[in-house]
Amino acid sequence: MTGYRAGQTEIITIDANDGTTLYARVIKPSDFSPTKQYPVVVYVYNGPHVQLVTNSWLGGASLWMNYLAEMGYIVFTLDGRGSAHRGKEFEQAIHRRLGTLEIEDQLTGVKWLHSQPWVDRGRMGIHGWSYGGFMTTSLMLRTPGTFKAGVAGGPVIDWGLYEVMYTERYMDTPDENQDGYKTADLTGYVDRLQGKLLMIHGTDDDVVVMQHNMKFLKACIGKNVQVDFFAYPGHAHNVRGKERVHLMQKVIEYLQRNI
């Protein structure tokens, strides 16, 4: 880290709509001024088994987030209901309706950001991978206009295409929960897109299989909706190795260009 500056990382609490305490992380540039207004990038996961905000070095953030903050952005992350290490009730709140309460909690975080005088409300972007890709796409489509741009990596588009062990734990079977699966199927919202959306997928992804993005792209074509798409040949669910640098450069440049 010698020779690099890192901005201030804060862990804050925000109340959900039912009064549940949610933890969030705010990363500001090292030269942050409360008299300025900054664009915001929200990094999201908000799914089971994952906790992004931790009382640890950098608040659990990745170094690319500090790198982005030094470019003049606020980088924000909130662990909403459904995420890990908050107990059974906190996780099971999303049972049978994936992508519903999580959206509400992320919008609670957006509302807090909007209340800060140093936030440029008209310049907000969002990025996430896997469940975070599902959430990024959900927020871009189901809350149109909230974000100017989004980058969704390895996103679940239709839970009917995801692995049985995980999906039926949280959604029950498609026959038992037809409404839940239909509501969470993001192909039903493509015509609501406002702003720019980049979908990224590894060609060898055996976790969120490529059919998710193919189904999404086909729906966009059918509705004459323009989206961007990029594939990483030979990569599985996560892009690793030297190509990871290419990935993060693509994500950051896309957000910079569009927000």
Residues with catalytic roles: 130, 205, 237
DSSP 197-218: EEEEEETT-SSS-THHHHHHHH
**DSSP label of 188:** G
Question: Which tokens sit at 118?
Answer: 């140093």
**DSSP label of 51:** -
Strand partners, 231: 201
Compute the distance between CA of residue 80 and CA of residue 238 in angstroms, rounded to an integer: 23
Compute the distance between CA of residue 139 and CA of residue 231 in angstroms, rounded to an integer: 22
Helix (H, G, I), strand (E, B) or coil at 78: strand
DSSP 119-132: EEEEEEEEEEETHH
* Inter-residue contact 90 to 81 (CB < 8 Å): yes
